[in-house]
Amino acid sequence: MDFSGNWRIPTEILAGAGRVSEIFGRARDLGVKRVLLVTDKGVAALPFFSQIVAGFEKSGLAVAVFKDVQPDPVEADVAAGLAAFMAHEAELVVCIGGGSALDCGKSIALATATSRPLWDFEITLTPPPLDRPIPPIFAVPTTAGTGSEVGRATVITNLELGRKIILLHPQMQPRLVILDPELTFGLPASLTAWTGMDALAHNLEAFCVPSWNPMCDGIAVEGMRLIKESLVTAATEPRNVEARAKMLAAAAMGATAFQKGLGAIHSLSHPIGAKFHAHHGLTNAVLMPYVLSYNRPAIEDGIAGVARSLGIDGGFYGFLGWVLHLRAQLGIPHTIAGLKVTEESLDDLAAEAFLDPNTPDNPRAADAGAMRRILRGALAGSVVGLDG
């Protein structure tokens, strides 16, 4: 292993119940006068959102709201948000909501700074130059899953290609993040479960990437511990402040850790989401044990160490058993048939998964044939036997 690396621990985070009230003063501190709030229609209808709008206005800041963000945002959503930003002459983008709102808001901020197509910023170590700096971004997650609030990347669906495209620019990393558990109280149990499993996938896959980043590895293990301790409680006791706070922290930790990279869970999840419109966190949850089984020869010792840290007996297989039990507790389907995936689609999904930018970071090499083997197991519900 090459013991060198470039590491980044991200943005300033304000964590705790009620801390969203601090956002107004932080905006004033930037010296801005005009703010664009980016969210979706569901969040915009919640009582706390109108209170946030009123708080900005009371602080003397002019507010415009862009709420036409759909699940799995597309280029047209970003274009409409850009038009709203320009019409309002905004100076600050505040993203409030789940991963879709955060990704869309960050992409709107990117679009204000370039005349290039968004797709020119598909994940690369050297993004193309901007025409002007990206405006500051604040992020307030209302789900504990994607961790987009602390990341430099977004996911936007290219409808023409039928692909989810990962956009990357370091200036898309939000300047301020607020993790207020009270804003997640209204999240349904199913979405709490799905987004929580997304956070688990991020921490787990980041840990398994075979590059040297001990800071990310430590963050990932602690993120998994918090999820083991809190996810079921958050799903069954929606107003449990401690569980909600720990899940928000674990989600941010997962996105911090996956600067190392991700792997085949995400490589397979992206085309399934694009083609079958399945929730990303749910898709990750369904695929997780099958990819774990495939990767076993490369990760068995490391996962055994994680199991010990989490108080799970039985090494790798004990950890795999915990994942299967957790999915059952949360009502996650056991097979991708529950995501509407069909046998006829496996070849195309496998080919696209092989081309996904996360595939090279998978701890065990996986060509299109291997991806199809994982998908076939996930369709049949056969977790064992994928590691041969």
Most distant CA atoms of the chain, gap in Å: 63
- Quick one: 161 and 264 in the same domain? no
* Averaged confidence pLDDT in the chain: 95
- Quick one: 208 and 294 in the same domain? yes
CA–CA–CA angle 381, 270, 190 (5° rounding): 65
Domain finish residue from 155, 184, 213: 184
- C-alpha 199/C-alpha 195 separation (Å) is 6
Mean pLDDT (whole number) for 186-204: 96
Q: What is the CATH number of the domain that holds 16?
A: 3.40.50.1970
DSSP structural state of residue 59: T
- Quick one: 140 and 277 in the same domain? no
- Quick one: 316 and 361 in the same domain? yes
**223 part of a folded domain:** yes
- Quick one: 129 and 234 in the same domain? no
- Quick one: 170 and 201 in the same domain? no
**386 part of a folded domain:** no
Q: What is the pLDDT of residue 1?
A: 64
Is the pLDDT assigned to residue 38 strictly greater than 70? yes
Number of structural domains found in the chain: 2
State how far Cα 311 lies from the chain centre: 26
Using H for helix, E for strand and C for coil, what is the string for 220-282? HHHHHHHHHHHHHHHHHCCCCHHHHHHHHHHHHHHHHHHHHCCCHHHHHHHHHHHHHCCCHHH
- What residues contact residue 308 under an 8 Å CB cut-off, 6+ apart? none
- Quick one: 172 and 150 in the same domain? yes
| Residues spanned by the domain of 302 | 192-380
3-state class of 92 per DSSP? strand
Domain finish residue from 127, 153, 184: 184
CB 227 within 8 A of CB 250: yes
3-state class of 283 per DSSP? helix
**4 part of a folded domain:** no
- Quick one: 153 and 218 in the same domain? no
Is the pLDDT assigned to residue 345 strictly greater than 70? yes
3-state class of 63 per DSSP? strand
Is the pLDDT assigned to residue 322 strictly greater than 80? yes
Q: What is the pLDDT of residue 124?
A: 73
- Owner of token pair 């044990």: 289
- Quick one: 147 and 206 in the same domain? no
Q: What is the CATH number of the domain that holds 279?
A: 1.20.1090.10
**250 part of a folded domain:** yes
- Quick one: 173 and 296 in the same domain? no
pLDDT band per the 50, 70, 90 thresholds, residue 258: very high
- Tokens of residue 248, six digits: 């928000």
Q: What is the pLDDT of residue 3?
A: 67
- Quick one: 157 and 199 in the same domain? no
- Quick one: 301 and 348 in the same domain? yes
**136 part of a folded domain:** yes
**7 part of a folded domain:** no
**165 part of a folded domain:** yes
- pLDDT, tens digit (0-9, with 9 covering 90-100), for 150-190: 999 999 999 888 888 989 999 999 999 999 999 999 899 99
AA letter at 296:
R
Domain finish residue from 117, 149, 184: 184
Residues constituting the chain:
388
Q: What is the pLDDT of residue 386?
A: 86
